[in-house]
Chain A
């Protein structure tokens, strides 16, 4: 089991990295069609990344080693985060070494370096992006951890594999706590991945940017890595939500037929979730920055309600 398990970890991480541009392409395809526009092919993000890798990377004169190291740092951390999430097999060996709080910490580490890289450029945009991004993430953190706590109280563990296993073993149970936690995590995921209504990922106006302003100075292969990382981050959050709240289909044994079926199942679930995301991005508008705390306090209230329903109603 051991060697096969670690091969599967490698396979899962590779799947995360290789399939995330396709997920983004699928999202963009649906957004365009919903908005009555001509859509690029779904493999367009791959072409974009290839193009960026081929371009020369430019460095701003004011930067130090932090600017140069950050793209590799955050891709490394995101890859590590991707390796501990059960994508197609519940009991991956890597999931045992880090639990869901460590996962939140990984994203915090990536964001720390990205904000520092933004400030390293010595421009006003970098500082603006760093300031806004850190504020939004600081406010999203209690909501996310409250959702994590509720989950771990339901599953009696913070280990991702144990959580999924316990939810699978319970069968169809109408849990109010999981319902509220699901919606709370959805809102938090919107804030953390920088989608509408928190941040518009395709904006060109610098003063409306949150995430893009931090990476404004990056070009060439460094920008390619950073773009790839944000696509992987979106896929990580999507997989986390579908596999924890709708885990049916994931394989519990390491044999080929189950793995293949699990792969199809998770692809199907991801396509549905991304479609919902595309619809919400079309229907909602980006909020003013100072309305984001209200949005995140709504997410916190949902998670808090999840916890309270667990304590009051379920025990």
Chain B
């Protein structure tokens, strides 16, 4: 069945070629491009699901590449799981993109500039998952970065977009360099590039730690760990929304896949100190991500920072797994790994849903800033309802799927009492408290996003007359929403499937997680913790209908209809839409409490009429936020580089004789060396 995945990659390449010839006959080729993309998505999902459930492990070689170095490829449970994620997101994007890309027909770029890189991007991500040797991996990784660069700079007329694209490309390559270094160390010890020989080789602890550090920096840069995250909030908002969904929902998970593959599978031994260091980095990432998300006014930038937060949560799970494996508690390590992978799946689903919804809103309202929106739910009911589902899932509220993975991570951190080190036994609950804080702040953040953008009154006149988007875009969001609901309803099935990954890679499984039947989730034991998702859903439904029943009884008794009136205004007269809370006012308490974390600039000015400020009629308020890490971390590096290059640039004098002199002295030196 692994051939299905290869066929899917070929279909994607075909889709890319179709996009190239789109300009010949758009009415025929455009739908064909999207149909093939959707088909590839379905094939990927089926192949991934099959590989995961059946615990497959196939290796094969392709006669591509260098003559003595063929492309090795494999499809095991870990690759299948992420293939499933890629497939599901692709299906959704294939439904979404036709109506969304119509918007870009007005721009001077041809459709091929969007369609071709998209298909190549998805194909490259799949090739990364299939790679079984370092060379194939790096080629596919590079292809992924390049194609997404062209997607990020799709609207290159705007100079801010070009800057974001450049930053993205730069950091993708620096990250790729670190990944190459970590593979290089392992390949050096293994005398070969294939993953199987890397697994068989033995490195000394120092080299293992160095490999871990390089892999962490390399994959962390792509995933968005703080402080190497700075490209994420620049690049994701700039790309078209379905590309942002793919990048945020899927590409970040490919980086997580790379990290798991290298650290858990290839290196060999696991040291718990790695886990402790990663725990601190991940906790800081999660907290910084959500706090930065709270102060954003641009919808897509907020979602980008929220991705950083969720990557932090995934890496908290991975760090716990490393700590437990390093301390010889493999069952708990497996549990933490499963929790992290479940959260990766959940995040891919609901973040894609949120980005697609944001794209729908931006397309119909032509506004990016949530402070210029309002009341969108009444105009776009389907998008609004599905976006609400995404917000509930990402806030980790029961009984949604986001809650299940966070619950699992909490349960894992509670098992810290099995560790022998007292310091770890204290630090792990502290990191769980940080996780609780980020979860609660994420809920606050999404109440702000949904409340300001979708509820209330429209703050700008143009937003009052928007319409619901095309059916295709709604279907795409509905698919993702349905998947989120299904995972929330039946988490035991999903966890059992993910368990195969832990069994295959780390040779330890959670047999006890679903041992009490398909309804009960008992990660450690029935006595320790239980969660019955279907029962909770049923209880919620019963309780809700109980109260609705009371409502009907009361309605029957009192014949009063509800009347629609103006809201309470303290008797001052009609309220206008500008009197509502804005995003900045909503987060003012958080900004005051956590102030000092950001470079926050407020600009208040009284615009006078007729030169008299006493009777000013307009108060202008402008707010700007900058990521503190720019100033703390990146600007010093940039300055250092500039200074160093300026020093080196001295040798470029412009005189012909100096350059001839350089060649002459190098020749003399080489001659002396040889003799």
- Point out residues on A near B: beta carbons under 8 Å: 53-62, 64-66, 71-73, 75-77, 79-80, 83, 94, 96-99, 101-102, 105-106, 108-109, 111-112, 115-116, 118-128, 130-132, 134-135, 137-142, 144-146, 149-150, 152-153, 156-159, 162, 206, 216-217, 220-221, 225, 289-290, 293, 300, 304, 307-308, 311-312
Name the contact of B535 in the complex, choosing from A97, A99, A311 (C-beta under 8 A). Answer: A97
Contact yes or no, A108 B395, CB < 8 A: yes
Contact yes or no, B529 A308, CB < 8 A: no
Contact yes or no, A130 B414, CB < 8 A: no
Stretch of B143-151, B322-330, B538-546 lying at the A interface: B538-546
Docked CA distance A72–B545 (Å): 8
- Chain B residues whose C-beta falls within 8 Å of the C-beta of A56 in the assembled complex: 558, 560-563
Contact yes or no, B580 A122, CB < 8 A: yes
Task: Give the Cβ gap from B596 to chain A, nearest Cβ, in Å.
Answer: 14
Contact yes or no, A57 B586, CB < 8 A: no
Contact yes or no, A80 B540, CB < 8 A: yes
- Chain A residues whose C-beta falls within 8 Å of the C-beta of B413 in the assembled complex: 149
Task: Rank and list the top 4 A-B pairs by shortest CB-CB distance, nearest first.
Answer: A127-B581, A119-B451, A97-B532, A76-B543
Docked CA distance A65–B56 (Å): 47
- Chain B residues whose C-beta falls within 8 Å of the C-beta of A120 in the assembled complex: 451, 455-456
Q: Interface code B573-586, partner A: CB below 8 Å = 1, 0 otherwise?
A: 00101011100011
Given A80-B543, A99-B530, A127-B586, answer yes or no on A221-B457 (Cβ-Cβ < 8 Å): no
Name the contact of B547 in the complex, choosing from A59, A76, A83, A119 (C-beta under 8 A). Answer: A76
Given A83-B539, A138-B441, answer yes or no on A124-B397 (Cβ-Cβ < 8 Å): no
Q: Interface code B443-464, partner A: CB below 8 Å = 1, 0 otherwise?
A: 1100110111001110000000
- Chain B residues whose C-beta falls within 8 Å of the C-beta of A64 in the assembled complex: 375, 377-378, 384, 455
Closest A residue to B555 using CB positions: A221
Docked CA distance A59–B443 (Å): 26
Q: Interface code B91-113, partner A: CB below 8 Å = 1, 0 otherwise?
A: 00000000000000000000000
Contact yes or no, A135 B593, CB < 8 A: yes
Closest B residue to A137 using CB positions: B440
- Chain A residues whose C-beta falls within 8 Å of the C-beta of B414 in the assembled complex: 149, 152-153, 158
- Point out residues on B near A: beta carbons under 8 Å: 374-375, 377-378, 384, 388, 392, 395-398, 403, 407, 410-411, 413-414, 417, 422, 425-426, 429-430, 432-434, 436-437, 439-441, 443-444, 447-448, 450-452, 455-457, 520, 527-532, 535-536, 539-540, 543-548, 551, 554, 558, 560-570, 575, 577, 579-581, 585-590, 592-593
Contact yes or no, A134 B447, CB < 8 A: yes
Given A56-B560, A59-B565, answer yes or no on A76-B528 (Cβ-Cβ < 8 Å): no
The secondary-structure label for the interface of chain B is: helix
Given A72-B547, A290-B592, answer yes or no on A130-B433 (Cβ-Cβ < 8 Å): no
Interface centre among B425, B520, B561, B569 (most CB of A within 10 A): B425
- Chain A residues whose C-beta falls within 8 Å of the C-beta of B395 in the assembled complex: 108, 112
Task: Give the Cβ gap from A4 to chain B, nearest Cβ, in Å.
Answer: 18
Docked CA distance A79–B550 (Å): 13
Task: Give the Cβ gap from A165 to chain B, nearest Cβ, in Å.
Answer: 10
Docked CA distance A66–B381 (Å): 11
Docked CA distance A130–B448 (Å): 9
- Chain A residues whose C-beta falls within 8 Å of the C-beta of B530 in the assembled complex: 96-97, 99, 159
- Chain B residues whose C-beta falls within 8 Å of the C-beta of A65 in the assembled complex: 377
Contact yes or no, B434 A142, CB < 8 A: yes
Name the contact of A98 in the complex, choosing from B411, B536, B564 (C-beta under 8 A). Answer: B536
Given A94-B539, A108-B397, answer yes or no on A61-B560 (Cβ-Cβ < 8 Å): no
Task: Give the Cβ gap from B444 to chain A, nearest Cβ, in Å.
Answer: 4
Contact yes or no, A123 B443, CB < 8 A: no
Name the contact of B529 in the complex, choosing from A77, A127, A157 (C-beta under 8 A). Answer: A157
Name the contact of B440 in the complex, choosing from A79, A118, A138, A206 (C-beta under 8 A). Answer: A138
Contact yes or no, A77 B592, CB < 8 A: no
Docked CA distance A244–B522 (Å): 23
Contact yes or no, B432 A145, CB < 8 A: yes
Contact yes or no, B539 A134, CB < 8 A: no
- Chain A residues whose C-beta falls within 8 Å of the C-beta of B563 in the assembled complex: 56, 58-59
Task: Give the Cβ gap from B393 to chain A, nearest Cβ, in Å.
Answer: 12
Contact yes or no, A221 B551, CB < 8 A: yes
- Chain A residues whose C-beta falls within 8 Å of the C-beta of B455 in the assembled complex: 64, 66, 116, 119-120, 122
Task: Give the Cβ gap from A207 to chain B, nearest Cβ, in Å.
Answer: 10
Name the contact of A131 in the complex, choosing from B388, B528, B589 (C-beta under 8 A). Answer: B589
Contact yes or no, B564 A311, CB < 8 A: no
Given A124-B580, A141-B436, A293-B593, answer yes or no on A159-B544 (Cβ-Cβ < 8 Å): no
- Chain A residues whose C-beta falls within 8 Å of the C-beta of B430 in the assembled complex: 304
The secondary-structure label for the interface of chain A is: helix
Name the contact of A135 in the complex, choosing from B544, B564, B575, B590 (C-beta under 8 A). Answer: B590
Task: Give the Cβ gap from B324 to chain A, nearest Cβ, in Å.
Answer: 16
Name the contact of B411 in the complex, choosing from A96, A142, A150, A158 (C-beta under 8 A). Answer: A158
Docked CA distance A54–B527 (Å): 47
- Chain A residues whose C-beta falls within 8 Å of the C-beta of B585 in the assembled complex: 127, 131
Contact yes or no, B544 A102, CB < 8 A: no
Task: Give the Cβ gap from B431 to chain A, nearest Cβ, in Å.
Answer: 11
28 contacts between A and B (CB under 8 A): A59-B565, A60-B565, A61-B564, A61-B567, A64-B384, A76-B540, A80-B539, A83-B539, A97-B531, A97-B539, A98-B536, A101-B407, A102-B403, A102-B407, A108-B443, A112-B395, A116-B447, A122-B580, A123-B567, A125-B568, A126-B456, A131-B589, A138-B443, A146-B433, A149-B413, A153-B414, A220-B560, A290-B589
Docked CA distance A166–B536 (Å): 25
Name the contact of A96 in the complex, choosing from B378, B532, B575 (C-beta under 8 A). Answer: B532
Contact yes or no, A132 B410, CB < 8 A: no
Task: Give the Cβ gap from A107 to chain B, nearest Cβ, in Å.
Answer: 10
Docked CA distance A73–B399 (Å): 13
- Chain B residues whose C-beta falls within 8 Å of the C-beta of A71 in the assembled complex: 547
Contact yes or no, A311 B422, CB < 8 A: yes
Closest A residue to B457 using CB positions: A122
Interface centre among B437, B457, B546, B547 (most CB of A within 10 A): B547
- Chain B residues whose C-beta falls within 8 Å of the C-beta of A96 in the assembled complex: 530, 532
Contact yes or no, A130 B586, CB < 8 A: yes
- Chain B residues whose C-beta falls within 8 Å of the C-beta of A145 in the assembled complex: 410, 432-433, 436
Task: Give the Cβ gap from B521 to chain A, nearest Cβ, in Å.
Answer: 10
Docked CA distance A61–B392 (Å): 25
Contact yes or no, B437 A142, CB < 8 A: yes
Task: Give the Cβ gap from B295 to chain A, nearest Cβ, in Å.
Answer: 13
Contact yes or no, A72 B548, CB < 8 A: yes
Contact yes or no, A61 B579, CB < 8 A: no
Docked CA distance A105–B444 (Å): 14
Docked CA distance A295–B410 (Å): 25
Task: Give the Cβ gap from B222 to chain A, nearest Cβ, in Å.
Answer: 30
- Chain A residues whose C-beta falls within 8 Å of the C-beta of B590 in the assembled complex: 135, 138
Closest B residue to A156 using CB positions: B528
Given A123-B568, A139-B593, A142-B434, answer yes or no on A108-B581 (Cβ-Cβ < 8 Å): no
Contact yes or no, A59 B562, CB < 8 A: yes
- Chain B residues whose C-beta falls within 8 Å of the C-beta of A217 in the assembled complex: 567-568
Name the contact of B397 in the complex, choosing from A105, A149, A206 (C-beta under 8 A). Answer: A105
**Contacts beyond the supplied A64-B455, A115-B451, A123-B575: 16 A-B pairs with Cβ under 8 Å:** A53-B558, A64-B384, A72-B547, A76-B543, A77-B543, A79-B546, A97-B539, A120-B455, A127-B456, A130-B447, A134-B447, A144-B436, A149-B432, A158-B414, A304-B430, A311-B422
Docked CA distance A60–B580 (Å): 14
- Chain A residues whose C-beta falls within 8 Å of the C-beta of B565 in the assembled complex: 58-61
Docked CA distance A83–B528 (Å): 20
Docked CA distance A97–B535 (Å): 7
Name the contact of A307 in the complex, choosing from B429, B451, B529 (C-beta under 8 A). Answer: B429
Docked CA distance A82–B665 (Å): 86
Docked CA distance A53–B560 (Å): 11
Task: Give the Cβ gap from A297 to chain B, nearest Cβ, in Å.
Answer: 10
Docked CA distance A121–B378 (Å): 13
Task: Give the Cβ gap from A244 to chain B, nearest Cβ, in Å.
Answer: 16
Interface centre among A53, A79, A123, A308 (most CB of B within 10 A): A123
Docked CA distance A76–B537 (Å): 11
